[in-house]
Structure 1
Amino acid sequence: MNRSRRAAVTLGALTLSAAALAGCGGNGADTAQSSSAQEAEIELLPKDAALAAAVPAPIKERSKLIIATDATAPPNQSIAEDGKTIIGNEVDFGNQIASVLGLEAEFVNISFDSIIPGLQAGRYDIGLSGMRDTEEREQVVDFVTYAKTGPQLFARVQDKDKLTSIEQLCGHSFALQSGTVQEQVGREQSDKCVADGKAPIDIRVFKSQADQVQAVSSGQVEVGAQNAPNNVYLEEQTDGAMVGVGEPFAEGPWGIPVPKGSGLLEPLHAATEQLVASPQYQQILEKWKVESQAIDQSVINGATS
């Protein structure tokens, strides 16, 4: 029987609070989605008995799918107004996938750059945190794709016309989150600046997306970059004080990282295929206003770069 349930919770999560954006004149809104969005329940997909039987025994025995996420990137994942519940479109995705596998989803909030090491160490079953499926990452984990997007620059609204493309950043300060594709692209662009006889980019790396945004909002750093859907949300939550600038760049597939050899890859892929083909997938995208992230088909290890 189909049923509904809310996401599992975890304590000690870092949120992008009103105080973090005080320097940009926002409306004091929490980074969590509105209460109406939080309460919009979407019916869970039913358990697939064959896929549930294929789940590795240790996971099946505990009846939980332990999912690592960095809950500082709304609307994909963030902390709700209660200060503990992790919400977002990726949380909704995770709950749907777990349901197909006959499991409960349990989300654990950790830093983005700790997700793959945590998977390798066996602390988590999968990750679900807006992670780009890349050829480099595929060397250490496998991926199941579920969405797509590209990063985009963001700045204070008064600075929105100063720097509008990554090619213009030579000699300028640039806020990035540790371990992300944005960091990799930024460093590659800095090397191009030097090769062209220009000053390198002054790259500032932050552990969380909240700290990264705060550095730009306070004027410590000129511009930052995060995934384009996050910029749409950032502008809404700051009443236009912080905005995305320029066009998204380096678009690519997002994937669910899975430890190699865990036995979970095939059933996870089949469950994700069911999600992507379901009405619930579009309902979740619409609920969180991230329709541009939709894909038509889930694949295993779909890296394009």
Structure 2
Amino acid sequence: MPQRTLGRMTFAITGLALSAVLVAGCAATSDAPASAPDPAANAENEFFQALPAAVQEAGSVSVGTEAYYPPYEYIDADGSTIVGLDIDLLDAVTERLGIEYELDNVAFDTLLPSLDAKRYDLVVAGITDTVERQANYDFVDYFAADQAIIVAAGNEAGISSMADLCGLTVSVLVDSTQQSLLEEENAGACAGEQIDILTQQSDTEALMQVQSGRAAALLTQEAVGMYNASQIGGGTAFEVANEGSIEPMPLGYVFAKGNDQLRDAFQKALQSLVDDGTYGDIMSSYSLTNAALDEITVNGAE
């Protein structure tokens, strides 16, 4: 996919509105599956037949997420339901597979350890596929994610690229790929004038650091920044500062090593959604067609 140039975009959020978003994000939610599908009803379903026998028998998979990362997953206005791009895709792919899913909303930095502990069959949380993570996990990639630098409106520091963050305090989601990108800058371009990396438990909390002035900028996924820009407030408080693409990377569903059959079943079902246009319709509904993939790959990061 070609790199995209970011237009400059602004959005506003009052302290009250941002606090409301954060409180909503703290709601404990879990979507329990309906009664397990009858395997006999899936006798002619090639996607169901590709699943491991244990999943066929259970008729369901357990999924970990962190629902504070719009537009991928977030808590809706009633404070009890997880919605978003990832959820719409998960609904579509599990329907194609002929199974249900149970969704567990937990802190981002506990997701992969919980997958290690076999608490979940997979993790769906806008997680970046990297070569380093591939050493321990397998990814079914479904999205091409760029990054964005969010600053207060007016961009007084004149930030337009990662190099401009040297010597500044930058907030970021803890244990995220964006944190790793900032650490790489500190080891390279900013070695002489380090970025003060301010990690937070959610992207919303990281944005609050910019609002309060504790941080000069937030580094986040572009889709998240663009969502906030289009959804929150009246368009006067923040803006996307970078003028060019920053490290576009694939996002993927995350599976434990050795769970190849389940991984491959999800890859096959997701590809079928691409082929019949369902995937494109979902991406279009979030105005993210530029980030859509033509091919659903396994471990596509290089």
Give your verdict on TM over 0.5.
yes
Question: Does the C-alpha gap of structure 1 residues 101 and 261 become closer, same or farther in structure 2, counting only changes over 3 Å?
Answer: same
- State the SS of the aligned residue for 2:188: helix
1:63 maps to which of 51, 54, 59: 59
Structure 2: gaps of 5 or more residues = 1-12, 25-40
Deviation at 1:207, TM superposition (A): 1.4
2:225 matches 1:239: no
Give per-residue Cα distances to partners, 1:216-237, cap 9 Å, x unaligned.
1221111011111111111121
**Counterpart-to-counterpart distance in 2, 1:138 and 1:27:** 35
2:99 matches 1:107: no
Deviation at 1:80, TM superposition (A): 0.4
- State the SS of the aligned residue for 1:272: helix
RMSD: 2.4
2:222 matches 1:224: no
Q: How does 1:111-260 map to 2 (within 5 A)?
A: 111-159=107-155, 162-195=158-191, 198-236=192-230, 237-240=232-235, 241-246=237-242, 247-260=244-257
Deviation at 1:120, TM superposition (A): 1.4
Give the aligned residue type for 2:214. Q
**Counterpart-to-counterpart distance in 2, 1:184 and 1:52:** 37
Partner of 1:273: 271
- State the SS of the aligned residue for 1:255: strand
Give the aligned residue type for 2:62. I
TM-score, normalization: structure 1? 0.82
| Contact 1:175/1:212 (8 A) holds in 2 | yes
Deviation at 1:89, TM superposition (A): 0.8
- State the SS of the aligned residue for 2:56: helix
| Contact 1:30/1:81 (8 A) holds in 2 | no
Question: Does the C-alpha gap of structure 1 residues 202 and 161 become closer, same or farther in structure 2, counting only changes over 3 Å?
Answer: closer
Give per-residue Cα distances to partners, 1:37-91, cap 9 Å, x unaligned.
xxxxxxxxx9771221232233223222222111111111100011011100110
**Counterpart-to-counterpart distance in 1, 2:181 and 2:168:** 15
Give per-residue Cα distances to partners, 1:89-121, cap 9 Å, x unaligned.
110111111111111132211222222211111
Give the aligned residue type for 2:104. V
**Counterpart-to-counterpart distance in 1, 2:18 and 2:204:** 16
Give per-residue Cα distances to partners, 1:263-294, cap 9 Å, x unaligned.
31211111111122222111111212222220
**Counterpart-to-counterpart distance in 1, 2:108 and 2:138:** 17
- Bigger drift between 179-188 and 272-281 goes to 272-281
| Contact 2:75/2:83 (8 A) holds in 1 | yes
**Counterpart-to-counterpart distance in 2, 1:185 and 1:85:** 32
Structure 1: gaps of 5 or more residues = 1-20, 33-45
Once superposed, which parts of structure 1, at least 4 consecutive aligned residues long, lie more than 6 Å away? 25-29
**Counterpart-to-counterpart distance in 1, 2:229 and 2:156:** 12
**Counterpart-to-counterpart distance in 1, 2:124 and 2:164:** 32
**Counterpart-to-counterpart distance in 1, 2:66 and 2:274:** 22
- Bigger drift between 253-262 and 47-56 goes to 47-56
Partner of 1:22: 14
Partner of 1:42: none
| Contact 1:133/1:143 (8 A) holds in 2 | yes
Deviation at 1:172, TM superposition (A): 0.3
**Counterpart-to-counterpart distance in 2, 1:51 and 1:281:** 16
Q: How many residues align?
A: 269
**Counterpart-to-counterpart distance in 2, 1:143 and 1:272:** 13
TM-score, normalization: structure 2? 0.82
Q: Which has the higher contact order (CA 8 A, sep 6+)?
A: 2
